[in-house]
Amino acid sequence: MFQTFTETASPDQGPPRLAQLRAAMASERLDGYLVPRADAHQGEYVAPGDERLAWLTGFTGSAGFCIVLNDLAGVFVDGRYRVQVKAQVDTNHFTPVNWPEMKPADWLRANLPDGGGVGFDPWLYTPEQIDAMEAGLKDSGISLIPCTNLVDRIWPDRPDPPKGAIRPYPEALAGLTHAQKRATLAAELTASAQAAAVITLPDSIAWLLNIRGSDIPRNPVPHAFAILHATGKVTLFVDPDKLDDHVRTHLGGDVVLRPPSAFGPALHSLGGPVRLDHKSVPLWVMHELDQGGVIRHWGDDPCILPKACKTPAEIDATREAHLRDGAAVCEFLTWFDDQPHGSITEIDVVRKLEDCRRATGVLLDISFDTIAGSGPNGALAHYRVSTSSNRRLTSGDLLVLDGGGQYLDGTTDITRTLPVGPPGDAERTAFTRVLQGMIAMSRVRWPAGLAGRDLDVLARYPLWLADQDYAHGTGHGVGVNLCVHEGPQRLARISEVPLRPGMILSNEPGYYREGAFGIRIENLLVVHDAAPLPGGDMAGKLCFETLNFVPINTRLVMSDMLTEDERRWLNEYHATCRAKIAPRLGDAGRLWLEKATAPV
């Protein structure tokens, strides 16, 4: 299996490691130290040797950080992880902090009132992050001090960097050759009077060069750094052990291969101006350019928007991936509905769903560890089942099942909430509100130029009417055989990036009642130009196309809460599921699908 169920960190190791870190701080005469969950590539998913936050604290969530002082250690987590963090850290030594409500600068001001020096690794922080923190610390007497990584110093068996093999990505699926991509972006640099751009995001490098890697589980990206020159050539800094002759031939003569150790000297030798992305490049890179006297300009990673706006070939490919994956999920649901109540566990669910995806014969990996949270575990938005947390599904439970696959032609992500036995009225009412928000987002048409923050409210409105909400964004960007969480597109209150045709986003409102149950419904959507409506007088509208086709469990729907338009959408969606998925199923699956898509 791709997914395992062992505990990856332990709270009891936190206190002695914290003591060692404080001793290292004392040796450097530091009053504090920042420990992010980040690597030099600012990836959400990191290699084992970059799991510094988990190693130190025990907290294994995908976002957060720790600030260690001499007498206090705050673990900052957002709304997805506020229950989880309490179970994973020793709260006698680590204090959970609600972030982003509490800013790190404000916390430091409150807990270092006399000022002091706070160390950090400049490889693990971006200029934007440090600038924001320094602005918040102005006139506080607290200074941020770049230094070597103190956690690495005290981590005796820290795993080595990964050396996963790199492979070419088919141009027929990408829609463009890497020479075409390089030429287009080089022309943009020339138009901006920039000589080069430094690229440090692995998925940007993978997209630009039509390659995929295997350094990070679930995300087919390589760890590497790149410099894109205004000539269209690229210097790629990568471990040579990751490359075979096939990949070298694919890259060709316009991609110069250098070892990672050559990255710093190459930065010093660049002729400027050089573009840096303030939001993603390590601060270390900025320091190296400054030491070399190289002029730098702030600007977005040149790959970000082109990667987000998928080509027609990528959209066609990912449609097929989602139909294949949808059939696999329906085969799972056929099995699931046939299991006696109390006979299976969360781990059984995860294993069976992965087996159904593997049965396609083309699954490369899962796109993230499957979330299978039943009852109170479902209230943990990013729950990961382990042998110690594994729970047997019992009558009355809701199961939040969120998973996806990595296929050569697409990255999938889908969530369904499933009842075990008869669901309660409170659960059905909340589920229906979540469904109404999901339908509203699926149906919306909007003027070009609006961002995710402008649409996010649509999914929350039905819940807000009942004084309910969810503490995560409504949707994230998704790649094509790349990262399941992709920027810059998002459906979230903080997203200011205008939505554009070709962008793929998730649509996943939810509701979570701590200690009781969770609900989430998710489909992926792709942005398109909207066809004009008869009688309309407004051009330039955009709309969404739904990519996932798996029935939504109607046993959880309070049909009298739905409007006629909402009921029509649900019935039409289910009719489309039957038409698209039934031919891909076995006999039992087709019978199950017919019943699951009966009109409401």
The pLDDT tens digits for 566-581 are 999 999 999 999 999 9
* Encoded tokens for 274: 């050089």
The Cα–Cα gap between 42 and 38 comes to 5
Residues paired with 118 in a beta bridge: 32, 144
Query: What gap in Å lies between CA 84 and CA 60, rounded to an integer?
Result: 9
Pairing of strands 65-69, 73-77: antiparallel
| Entry field: residues in the chain | 600
Residue of 180, 224, 183, 220 whose CA lies nearest to 205? 224
User: What's the pLDDT at 268?
Assistant: 95
Q: How far is CA 74 from CA 8, 381, 442, in A?
A: 21, 22, 39
Q: Which tokens is 391 given?
A: 């729970």
* Sheet order of strands, 405-407 included: 365-366, 405-407, 410-411
Q: Is 8 a residue whose pLDDT tops 90?
A: no
- What pLDDT, on the 0 to 100 scale, is given for residue 61? 87
Could you give the angle at the alpha carbon of 547 between the alpha carbons of 543 and 552, nearest 5°? 105
Distance set, CA 555 to CA 106, 425, 428, 506, 579 (Å): 47, 11, 8, 24, 21
pLDDT at position 62, please?
A: 83
> CA–CA separation, 349 vs 385, rounded Å?
10
Of residues 272 and 104, more confidence is placed in 104
- Strand runs labelled E in 27-131: 32-36, 65-69, 73-77, 95-98, 116-120
Contacts of 248 (CB under 8 A, 6+ apart): 257
What mean pLDDT is reported for the chain?
96
Predicted confidence at residue 257, as pLDDT, reads 98
Name the H helices within 81-149.
Answer: 84-88, 104-111, 127-136
Taking each helix axis as running N to C, give the angle between helix 127-136 and helix 104-111, from 0 to 180 degrees, rounded to the nearest 10: 40
The fold adopted by the segment(s) 11-154 is Creatine Amidinohydrolase; Chain A, domain 1 (3.40.350)
Digit-coded pLDDT (tens) for 529-556: 999 999 888 889 999 999 999 999 999 9
**Taking residues 355-363, what's their average pLDDT?**
98
**Distances in Å between the alpha carbon of 545 and those of 268, 433, 580?**
47, 22, 15
Which range among 84-98, 233-247, 284-298 shows the weakest confidence by mean pLDDT? 84-98
Q: What is the mean pLDDT of residues 134-152?
A: 97
DSSP string covering 392-457? B--TT-EEEEEE-EEETTEE--EEEEEESSSPPHHHHHHHHHHHHHHHHHHH-EEETT-BHHHHHH
Q: Yes or no: is domain 309-592 CATH 3.90.230.10?
A: yes
**pLDDT confidence of residue 11:** 83
pLDDT the model gives residue 43? 82
Q: State how far the Cα of 287 lies from the Cα of 413, in Å rounded to an integer.
A: 38
State mean pLDDT over 191-220: 97
- The answer, yes or no, to whether residue 72 has pLDDT greater than 80, is yes
Pair of tokens at residue 278: 């303030």
Band of residue 4 on the pLDDT scale cut at 50, 70, 90: very high
User: Distance between CA 230 and CA 121 in Å, rounded?
Assistant: 31
Pair of tokens at residue 591: 């019978």
Q: What Cα–Cα distance (Å) separates residue 70 from each residue in 18, 31, 171?
A: 10, 6, 54
pLDDT of 44 over the 90 cut: no
Identical topology for domains 11-154 and 309-592: no
Contact predicate 105/137, CB 8 Å: yes
pLDDT, average across residues 391-420 = 98
pLDDT of residue 9: 67
DSSP character at residue 35: E
- pLDDT above 90 (res 323): yes
Q: In angstroms, rounded to a whole number, what is the distance separating the alpha carbons of residues 206 and 364?
A: 16
What is the pLDDT, as a whole number, of residue 6? 87
Domain 167-307 has CATH 3.40.350.10: yes
Is the pLDDT at 565 greater than 80? The verdict is: yes
Mean pLDDT computed over 4-9 = 82
- How is residue 491 written in tokens? 């459906």
pLDDT at 392 over 80: yes
Which tens digits make up the pLDDT trace of 116-140? 999 999 999 999 999 999 999 999 9
Ramachandran region, residue 64 (left: φ > 0; alpha: ψ -120 to 50; beta: rest):
left
pLDDT tens readout for residues 156-173: 999 999 999 999 999 999
How far is 476 from 589, CA to CA, in rounded Å? 30
pTM of this structure: 0.95
Domain boundaries, the chain: 11-154, 167-307, 309-592
The strand order across the sheet containing 234-237 reads 255-258, 234-237, 225-229, 196-199, 274-276, 296-298
